Amino acid sequence: MIRALVMTHGNIGVELVRVVEMILGPEEGLSAMSNDGKSGTDLEADVKAWLAQGQQGDGEIIFIDDYGGSCANAAILACGEHGERAVISGVNLAMLLAFTTWRDRDDHDELAAKLIQKGREAIIFVGGR
């Protein structure tokens, strides 16, 4: 099973995971982490600890809220060059719902590409000026 970590500023990730579970029920392998009060070194260590908890083989995806910040840097450093790990910026609810639905039927690279596309599709103009 491909696992995912939603790593964000403040409690955005925690709330996104809570909403996913409110819609779909408890989801094994979907976690959240905040950068609140943590140094870059602390965040990297926390991500490495999360990665170490997983089983080898299926891979991991780390969703972050904004590229270029402490969450992105820590995730990229922790993941290194491992082939079955992806860091995806711009997390939104549509991506996480798709992740929980698709993770058992797609391989890691295909899933990551589909999630990026799903995230983009979820951003649309719905009215107003």
Helix (H) or strand (E) holding 19: helix 12-24
pLDDT at residue 57, as a whole number: 67
**Which among 13, 84, 6 has a CA at the least distance from the CA of 47?**
6
Going by pLDDT thresholds of 50, 70 and 90, the confidence category of residue 129 is confident
**Hey, what domains does the chain have and what are their CATH numbers?**
3-121 (3.40.50.510)
As a whole-number percent, the residues of the chain with pLDDT over 90 amount to 87
HEC sequence for 78-110: HHCCCCCEEEEECCCHHHHHHHHHHCCCCCHHH
**Per residue in 51-83, pLDDT tens?**
999 776 689 999 999 998 899 999 999 998 777
